[in-house]
Amino acid sequence: MTATAAVLAAEVLTPEDLARSADRERVHDARTGRRRWRLAWLLTGPGVLAMLGENDGPSMISYAADGARFGLKFFLPFIIVLFAMSFVCQEMCMRLGAVTHRGYGQLVLNRFGPVWGWFAAGDLAITNVITLVSEFVAIRVGLGFFGLNAWVAAGLGISMVVVSAGGGSYRRWERVVLGLALFNGLFVVAALLADHGGGGVVGTAHTQAADMHTVLLLVASTIGATVTPWMVFFQQSASVDKGMTSADIKHGRIDTGVGALLATVCGIGALVAGAAVAGHGDIDGLAGAGFPGALAASSGNAAGTVFALGMIEAGALAILTISASTAYAAGECVGVSHSFNASPQRALLFHGTNLASALLAAVIILIPGAPLLSISLNANVLATALAPVSLIFLLMLASDRRLMGDWANRRSTNVLGGLVIALVAIGGAAYGIDSFFRAI
Amino acid sequence: MITNPTTPDSQLIGRLEQAQLVAQASLPVPRAELSDAVRIGLWGLRLFTMLLAAMVVCAFVLQLRAG
């Protein structure tokens, strides 16, 4: 036995280590057995979930509203560019996790000090809870189409958090959530079912006469929401929890790229479905709670039903991924166990935070008279305002040769990353400042 | 000490790299050595973020008051 192996053998292995080792055994078998498709399947997860999680309830309503008001000409290519920007950032998250085996929160805390570390985790927790409120609202919008109320929405969201996290296995959690994520494709189905007035999709490429200020604001807010802090925390921590290593980076890029592609297609689906509602009523942001009904009125019950189901899925998926990102951040910053591979007893803070953040948001939507629309709108503004902080630290960490060795960012990646950060910062600042001056 | 991630002699136990073990991964990495320019930049970022966040909170409170 070599000296290193002796040291490793002496390490106290936790159940988390053993679970992760079993996952890695499967990856090793697939890799050495040259089972390429199985290897790709085993390494799929964090990227797809981060990207499809970003297609959350408010985002899909927003895409649909854009389609209804402005048509497809501008926003269709715009969505493609947005997810390309997301890919640049999320690839760095995956690479950081695979190389350092540490989550984003832990790295920021260690490398830049407790002030920044706790600030990052704290602002993530606050924006996540607020965002979770809008996800529960999205589920309520979807369920409302079927005559079900807020209590059912709250119960559904919470039960999904509990069921997915049970079992003490990251792999199980990931596969359950991936299964749910596939239903993001319902928006594509809704687009296919939508009635575009006999002209097909091309025939809906009209634009509403909109002032430049409105369009610029829409662009700014959408750019600002391209990469949100929870995505950064989530994908890096999930890559670590999954046990990814530098040998998996190629597949991690594929996972992230496929996630971006799927999210783009599903986002375009919502945009196209929304275009069918043009002229059938005023749809405005999350106030478009009647959107599934409007789609049913314009295109038939099937289209409305599918879109409503898509809203439920979008909200539920985001609840699972956003709650998980909060839990990862809490565990990493406090320095305790933070893994789905750990049982609730061994990772009390992690599992407790995962559940508590969703529970808090669920309670808020049940409060009579709670300003849910205002909360939802400002959640988006806050997330976009705070995103540049997460992205700047992400770029600094991914460029750090001492941390990343040969896997540090190349100059081209830094240039692209810097450009994305600049656009997100400008978009977020413009959106935040405009929201402020509209309110005063 | 940060383990060189590209060392070809990484040892595996089970199928985990040493650095993946919970006991190893929980060890803190050293603090980054930041130049003065970067420190000033981060302070500027802190101010930018706090200002924006304050504006968002104000907007929210004003919206609530407006009903």
- Provide the 3-class DSSP secondary structure of residue B16: strand
Task: Give residues with Cβ within 8 angstroms of A323, minimum separation 6.
Answer: A128, A132, A161, A353, A354, A355, A357, A358
Dist CA A191 CA A321 (whole Å) = 25
- Residue B42 sits at the chain A interface (C-beta within 8 Å): yes
Q: Which residues of chain B have pLDDT under 50?
A: 1-11
CB contact under 8 A, B56 and A385: yes
Please name the residues in contact with A324: beta carbons below 8 A apart, sequence gap of 6 or more: A173, A234, A237, A238, A340, A354
What is the distance between the alpha carbons of residues A241 and A103, in angstroms, rounded to a whole number? 9
Our measurement of the distance from residue B25's CA atom to the centroid of its chain's CA atoms, rounded to an integer in Å, reads 15
Q: Is B9 left (phi over 0), alpha (psi -120 to 50) or beta?
A: alpha
Q: Is A413 on the interface with B (CB under 8 A)?
A: no
Beta-carbon separation of B52 and A245 below 8 A: no
| Residue A138: its H or E element | helix A114-144
A316 within 8 A of A139, measured Cβ to Cβ: yes
Cα A195 from Cα A197, distance rounded (Å): 6
Which amino acid would we find at residue A211?
D
Contact between residue A274 and residue A64 where contact means Cβ atoms under 8 Å apart: yes
| For residues A125-151, average pLDDT | 92
What is the phi-psi region of residue A13: left when phi exceeds 0, alpha when psi lies from -120 to 50, beta otherwise?
Answer: beta
What residues pair up with B12 in beta bridges, in sequence order?
B17
Q: Is A394 on the interface with B (CB under 8 A)?
A: no
A168: left (phi over 0), alpha (psi -120 to 50) or beta: left
- Residue A204 is predicted with a pLDDT of 45
Rg (CA), chain A: 21
Q: Provide the pLDDT for residue A281.
A: 55
> Judged by CB atoms within 8 Å, which residues 311-350 of A form the interface with B?
335, 337
**Contact (Cβ atoms closer than 8 angstroms) between residue A339 and residue A169:** no
Whether residue B23 lies within 8 A of chain A, CB to CB, comes out as yes
On chain B, the residues whose CB falls within 8 A of the CB of A249 are none
**Distance, in angstroms, between B20 CA and closest chain A CA?**
6
Chain A residues with CB under 8 Å of B25 CB are 101-102, 240
Alpha helices in A291-400 (DSSP H): 291-299, 301-334, 348-366, 372-399
Contact between A288 and A307 under an 8 Å Cβ cutoff? The reply is: no
* Backbone phi and psi for residue B17, each to the nearest 5 degrees, phi listed first: -75, 155
**What span, in angstroms and rounded, lies between the C-alpha atoms of A162 and A150?**
18
Residue that the structure tokens 């099937």 belong to: A302
Residue type, B24: Q
Instruction: Give me the residue from A12, A20, A400 closest to B16, CB to CB.
Output: A20
Name every chain A residue with its beta carbon within 8 A of the beta carbon of B44. Answer: none
Summarised one tens digit per residue, pLDDT across range A103-122 is: 999 999 999 999 889 988 88
Q: What Å distances lie between residue A424 and A281, A375, A387, A438, B57, CA to CA? A: 32, 21, 7, 21, 20
pLDDT band at A56 (very low <50, low <70, confident <90, very high): very high
Q: What is the mean pLDDT of residues A394-408?
A: 96
β-pair type (B12-13, B16-17): antiparallel
pLDDT at residue A280, as a whole number: 61
pLDDT in tens, A316-337: 999 999 999 999 999 999 999 9
pTM, entire model: 0.90
A105 token code pair: 């929160």
Nearest neighbour of A382 by CB, restricted to B5, B6, B53: B53
- Supply the ipTM of this predicted assembly: 0.81
Q: Which residues of B touch A240 (CB under 8 A)?
A: 25
- The DSSP string of A96-130 is HHHHH---HHHHHHHHH-HHHHHHHHHHHHHHHHH
Residue type, A11: E
Contacts of A100 in chain B (CB under 8 A): 5, 19, 29
Q: What is the CA radius of gyration of chain B?
A: 22
Residue appearing with tokens 């369009």: A215
pLDDT for residue A20? 93
What are the pLDDT digits (tens) for A65-104?
888 888 788 778 888 988 999 999 999 999 999 999 999 9
Specify which of A55-64, A390-399, B47-56 reaches the highest per-range mean pLDDT: A390-399
> Any idea what DSSP says for residue B4?
P
Structure tokens at A286: 């999350």
Contact at 8 Å (CB) between B32 and A112?
Answer: yes
Q: What are the residue boundaries of the structural domains of chain B, listed by start? A: 12-66
Q: How many helices (H) and strands (E) does chain B have?
A: 2, 2
Q: What is the nearest CA distance from A372 to chain B, expressed in angstroms? A: 11
Task: Give pLDDT, residue A8.
Answer: 53
What are the CA-CA distances from residue B43 to residues A390, B38, B50 (Å)? 14, 9, 11
Six token digits for residue A26: 């499967």
